[in-house]
Amino acid sequence: MRKLGVFIDNVLVGMLHDTDPLSFTYTQDCLGGLVRAPFSALIPLEPGPISTTAVTSFFENLLPEGDERTLLQARHHVTTVFGMLSKVGGDTAGSVVILPEGQNPQPDDYLPVSWEDIGTLVNNATAAAPAVMAAADSNASLSGAQHKLLVLLGDGDKPSLPLNASISTHILKPDIKRTGLKVFSSAINETLIMKLAHECQLPTAPVAYLPKVQSCLVERFDREKDDDGNLKRLYQADLCQLLDKPSGVKYENDGGPSFKDCYDLVKNRSAVPLTDCHNMVQWLFFNLMVGNNDSHAKNLSMLNTNGKLRLAPFYDLMCTKVYAGLSINFAFKIGQHFEPGQINHQDVCELADSIGINSRTLFKIALDMAGRIEKNLPTVAKALLPLAIKGSSDRILLDRASKTLYSNIKKIKARLQPPAAQVVPGSGGKKPS
């Protein structure tokens, strides 16, 4: 039977077995308490092979999704979760390193490249140098449906590509290019919304837009330097992993976690639940206001910081509403509705009851977030404008996104008013009769 070694901080904590369903066995050192496995709250410490759904959910959620998973399967001729992890499990989200049986983590090794090399790789991969292509193929392990490239930024922000499961510091997210999907300038879209969230006082991963490679560069919050200046991995798990849900059911409408499920989990697991739950509610209304309908449970994570589990900084924020052909439904149901155009005052009251928050407090958070977005959007968009080439789709995106946000916020604020105070859009200020 094939096995994969699972490492935390370069120490073997267990073996993943090629069984159906997937199974995992802890080392004796883990069982004896000599070595700590941070995911033991999900996969309880017990001797012998463990083949619960939690094993599959935890490890499967480390893999890319959608077209990226299909591409991974075609490149390496693997179709099972075990097979895919055997090829790209070296530098996953969080602290887990997965290597073929008999292999141990090696000293970090990198291929120095230029931004021009990366630009070629992103825009015309077949023209990239073979060594660059090989390095890029080996680090496609991050979850999500979008193509990503793991990089290490050194002195002077010079990029290198990690080799042999070496640690990365940043995630490069090029523009989404997918046949049949009318998505354009997604990188500057994500940069705009992420920076806007930061200005609205939400904890977010730091981002920058790189016009030369048409990509959003995201600094990894699951990496930090120790006292000796060495990079180390931090344990994190997204909420699908923590709620024992495979990535295929990340949307509530498809049987995935509800906002209440996510809220209750953070409330029960966070070391600082009041702060983290408040930020979650702010995140929910921020996404609703900016038209990010893809704000599902996998876009929320918990991070182990100084031995304490906290809600991780927010990531993968963008305005999906600007693109035709994407779902018009919100990822979470609010009250009785998924469609943002139907969410009203009563729905927010029902949400407040379900998570145990006073409805007036919830409305205050929602309207305060709307005000912060309206206040900060012009400044954030203006700062990105010089990075968008004149006549490019990036400029069209910035303009369209700004108009979409203002229009969206105006409509949502009107619907959140109590029924007697609501004004019908386009009615000249008249209340409904």
**Model pLDDT for residues 320-371, shown as the tens digit of each residue:** 999 988 889 999 999 999 999 999 999 999 999 999 999 999 999 999 999 9
Cβ burial, residue 155 (10 Å; 0-12/13-18/19+): exposed
Whether residue 145 is predicted with pLDDT greater than 50 in this model: the reply is no
Whether residue 122 is predicted with pLDDT greater than 50 in this model: the reply is yes
Confidence of residue 15 (pLDDT cuts 50, 70, 90): very high
Facing residues of 7 across strands? Answer: 12, 97
Whether residue 140 is predicted with pLDDT greater than 80 in this model: the reply is no
Determine the Cα angle at 178 with ends 385 and 206, to 5°.
Answer: 40
- Phi, psi at 290, each rounded to 5°: -90, 0
Whether residue 139 is predicted with pLDDT greater than 60 in this model: the reply is no
Confidence of residue 389 (pLDDT cuts 50, 70, 90): confident
Whether residue 256 is predicted with pLDDT greater than 80 in this model: the reply is yes
Residue type, 378: P
pTM: 0.91
Beta strands in 276-412 (DSSP E): 301-305, 308-311
Facing residues of 15 across strands? Answer: 5, 25
Whether residue 429 is predicted with pLDDT greater than 80 in this model: the reply is no
Q: Are strands 215-219 and 207-210 parallel, antiparallel or unpaired?
A: antiparallel
Confidence of residue 92 (pLDDT cuts 50, 70, 90): confident
Beta strands in 63-107 (DSSP E): 96-100
- Phi, psi at 193, each rounded to 5°: -75, -35
As a whole number, mean pLDDT of residues 413-424 equals 78
Whether residue 427 is predicted with pLDDT greater than 60 in this model: the reply is no
- Phi, psi at 309, each rounded to 5°: -90, 125
Domains of the chain: 3-101 (no CATH), 235-421 (1.10.1070)
As a whole number, mean pLDDT of residues 43-57 equals 95
Confidence of residue 147 (pLDDT cuts 50, 70, 90): confident
Which residue intervals of 110-204 are DSSP H helices?
A: 115-123, 130-137, 186-199
Of 205-209, 244-248, 278-282, the least confident: 244-248
For residues 144 and 186, the model is more confident at 186
CA 249 to centroid of chain Cα atoms? 15
Cβ count near 182 (within 10 Å): 9
As a whole number, mean pLDDT of residues 391-396 equals 88
Confidence of residue 71 (pLDDT cuts 50, 70, 90): confident
Comparing CA positions, the residue from 323, 299, 322, 321 lying closest to residue 312 is 299
Confidence of residue 176 (pLDDT cuts 50, 70, 90): confident
Cβ count near 249 (within 10 Å): 17
For residues 423 and 68, the model is more confident at 68
As a whole number, mean pLDDT of residues 383-407 equals 92
Whether residue 178 is predicted with pLDDT greater than 80 in this model: the reply is no
Q: How far apart are the first and last CA of the chain?
A: 71
Kindly state the DSSP code that residue 349 receives in the 8-state scheme. H
Whether residue 424 is predicted with pLDDT greater than 70 in this model: the reply is no
Positions marked catalytic:
294
CA 247 to centroid of chain Cα atoms? 12
What pLDDT, on a 0 to 100 scale, did the predictor assign at position 426? 58
Q: Percent of the chain having pLDDT more than 90?
A: 69
Of 21-35, 108-122, 315-329, 416-430, the least confident: 416-430
Confidence of residue 391 (pLDDT cuts 50, 70, 90): confident
Please state, in angstroms and rounded to a whole number, the distance separating the CA atoms of residues 425 and 419. Answer: 14
Cβ count near 418 (within 10 Å): 11
Comparing CA positions, the residue from 73, 61, 62 lying closest to residue 250 is 61
Kindly state the DSSP code that residue 376 receives in the 8-state scheme. H
Comparing CA positions, the residue from 101, 19, 94, 104 lying closest to residue 58 is 94
What pLDDT, on a 0 to 100 scale, did the predictor assign at position 68? 78
Q: In 3-state terms, what secondary structure has residue 18?
A: coil
As a whole number, mean pLDDT of residues 81-86 equals 91
Whether residue 143 is predicted with pLDDT greater than 60 in this model: the reply is no
Whether residue 125 is predicted with pLDDT greater than 80 in this model: the reply is no
Whole-angstrom CA distances from 149 to 138, 251, 266, 339, 397 are 10, 25, 29, 33, 23
Please state, in angstroms and rounded to a whole number, the distance separating the CA atoms of residues 240 and 245. Answer: 5
Please state, in angstroms and rounded to a whole number, the distance separating the CA atoms of residues 99 and 106. Answer: 11
Please state, in angstroms and rounded to a whole number, the distance separating the CA atoms of residues 257 and 259. Answer: 7
* Mean pLDDT over each residue of the chain, to the nearest integer: 90
